[in-house]
Structure 1
Amino acid sequence: MLTSRLFLSLAAHQRSTTSLTHRFPFVSWNIDAFSQRPVARANVLLNHILDGPHPPPDIIFLQEVRATVRAGWLVKGAEDLTAWDGVPFATITLLSKARFASSDLDSQKELEGEGKFMLGPTTRVPLPSKYGRDGLSVDIIPPSPSTTPGTGTHFRLINVHLDSLWHTFPNRAQQLKILASLLREPGCAGGVIAGDFNAISPADDGLVEENGLVDAWVALHGHGQGQGHGHGKDGEGDGATWGVGVERERHDGLGPGRLDKVAMTMNGVKAEEMEVLRPGNIEVPRPGEESVHVPWSDHCGLRYACSDWNLLFDPRGP
């Protein structure tokens, strides 16, 4: 397994006080590796996440990150490019220094901020995949871990980009089964799997529940008409994160869809709020011609918040 530590310094965005409540705002976004100006688009998108209308999140999951894009960000412990070996893009997880502390701190001074979660192992979990996809798993350890026998000692955050297109549904089913099992390993009190699930078919919609997980959007907003598979005018209102606002007809028959999801364990973590973040546009200059504008990404992002992070249960059941 490939192991690395992915850590973003958000010191400039720290809140004036450190909250001891275990509530974490997340953002997950597939930032689109293949459209024009990937570095500029990614920078604008990340600035919007950090400096936009909402308070900056504590946890950011990004998918389709190109190596050239990663090089422009302040990321600690991910200097090597092995995550991009043989693949055009990878996932990256960014964690706020305001809420998390690294276990390999350089100085005692950085230990200030009692009440922070500590970072445990970070692992890229290989998956059966046509495209070389994996699950980026990060363990987080509460400031006061439980010592009760049979309860967990840490939570797990898993950033995913499941296989694409219709013919890889068997891969997606197996991938989510493997990742869900990671949330039930001994010592793990549960957690979150989030990112691009590539849920393009009705068969995909049952995978979260079949693996004993909770679909955060459904828990908060209900199923909605058609689960966002091409139903409705532009996908708004049913949680669609892809194909939203696209007016042209597609040859593959795909309409707006809820491709991006957040799946949680039934205990230990509670969804509080969730919304779809629509991308803005960036200008693309064309020499001798009028500039064009392209979206930051072909996906919308997801902003959500989870609370509780309760260690006092055994997620494996009786």
Structure 2
Amino acid sequence: MPFDLKTYIAKASSTSGPDAPHDKGGAITPQQWHVYDGAAWVPAPPSPAAAAAPEQLTLVTWNIDGFGAQAEARAACLLARVAELPTAPDVILFQEVNAAGAATILANPFVRAGYVSSEAPGGSGAHWDWEGVPQPFVTLTLVSRALRVGDVFRTSLPSRYARDLLTADVLLPTGTLRIVNVHLDSLAHDPSFRPPQVALATASIKAAGAGVIAGDWNPVLPLDDSLCADNGITDEWVALKGADDGFTWNWDGRSKEPFPPNRLDKVATFGVRATEIEIIEPGTLAEGIDWSDHCGLRFVLAPVSASKL
């Protein structure tokens, strides 16, 4: 059946919350890295061992608006912006990637030449479908071919929206850096599933010894303000920018949705720290459609050789 936004929201709103019996999450579904071989995206062979730890790692996270019109044009413009950054990101984390956006991303020459992908064209399994209702979008992670990748897998979450954690391990000479791409539950459902979702993500990066949780956290309730502190992880925007607003949603007051400006997109770390973090504002298409209803975040991790890895 075709995707219908009203059906999707209604189903989520009727799903039992944390105050009722629910799926506790934690089930792991392994995935396969894919690489473009010049003709098609194919399963990637094991990565060669890295000779030395990189001095730093640059990452970008961006919710690219899977509900919006002109998905292909939006994704193409956004990728052009990422490709023009002074330093090509080592890792790119996308959220709200719909089928058309995924096809555009995986057809992009910059992506094909430089990255391995957590997804193959057409999606990679059941996370595109939710009890017979097509998922409107998924998360997608790209890692530079210059890095050595380990496991990539999804972890189920307690969720009203069938959200999951997309986890990628980057294998460095000094240890494993675990990168968790998140799109936490949307809207102000109370009670909220976001606390157990962050707890599961935190347990994962702590088990690896060091890691990053980045993406769209959807923090719209007061309890969201303390989730990083409650879990012993560092909110890098607060650590580096203090009280600066850091709005990544409706930053210019033009959002199509009736919500106030907010810092919906976050980066949290454990065992490694960021030295830089900045907002990347989207532009508009010729017809005035924004590339995304979120800003992106670019952040640089501290010299990895000097971290706890």
Structures share fold, TM-score greater than 0.5: yes
Q: 2:179 aligns with which of 135, 144, 157?
A: 157
For residue 47 of structure 1, report the CA deviation from its aligned partner.
1.5
> Are 2:176 and 1:128 equivalent residues in the alignment?
no
Please report the TM-score for the alignment, with normalisation by the length of structure 2: 0.75
Cα separation, partners in 2 of 1:76 and 1:241, compared to 1, 3 Å: closer
Aligned: 1:215 with 2:235: yes
Aligned match of 1:297:
292
Q: Are the counterparts in 2 of residues 27 and 59 from structure 1 also a CA contact under 8 Å?
A: yes
Q: Distance in 2 between matches of 1:77 and 1:240?
A: 28
Aligned-pair CA distance for 1:57: 0.8
1:48 is paired with a residue whose SS is helix
Aligned to 1:178: 200
- Whose Rg is larger? 1
1-structure distance, mates of 2:228, 2:118: 32
Partner of 1:282: 285
The Cα offsets for residues 24-44 of structure 1, whole Å up to 9 and x where unpaired, read as 111100000111101110111
- Alignment-mate amino acid for residue 279 of structure 2: V
Partner Cα separation in structure 1 for residue 96 and residue 181 of structure 2: 11
Matched, 1:239 2:239: no
CA distance in 1, matches of 2:34, 2:79: 15
What secondary structure does 1:298 align onto? coil
The letter of the residue matching 1:93 is T
User: What secondary structure does 1:170 align onto?
Assistant: coil
Question: Partner amino acid for 2:181?
Answer: N
> Could you tell me how far apart the structure 2 residues matched to 1:26 and 1:272 are?
12
Given that 1:169 and 1:204 are in contact with CA atoms closer than 8 Å, whether structure 2 keeps it comes out as no
Q: How many residues align?
A: 253
Contact 2:67 2:136 in 1 (8 A): no
Deviation at 1:200, TM superposition (A): 1.8
Aligned-partner SS, 1:184: helix
**Conserved 8 A contact 2:29-2:154:** yes
> Which residue does the alignment assign to 1:84?
128
Counterpart of 1:71 (choices 103, 128, 132) is 103
Q: In the alignment, what sits opposite 2:269?
A: 264
CA distance in 1 between partners of 2:306 and 2:204 (Å): 16
1:119 is aligned, of 123, 126, 149, to: 149
Please name the residue that 1:38 is paired with: 71
1:307 matched to 2:302: yes
Structure 2: runs of 5+ lacking an equivalent: 1-27, 39-50, 107-111
Assess, with a 3 A threshold, how the Cα gap between structure 1 residues 63 and 169 changes in structure 2: closer, same or farther: farther
Q: Counterpart of 2:266 in structure 1: which amino acid? A: K
Paired position in structure 2 for 1:114: none
State the alpha-carbon separation in 1 of the partners of residues 80 and 85 from structure 2. Answer: 11
User: C-alpha deviations, 1:152-205, integer Å up to 9, x for none?
Assistant: x412000000000011562011100111011122xx121100000001233211
Indicate the structure with greater helix content: 2
AA aligned opposite 2:82 = I
Q: Secondary structure at the match of 2:243?
A: coil
Identity of aligned residues (%): 37
TM-score, scaled to structure 1: 0.73
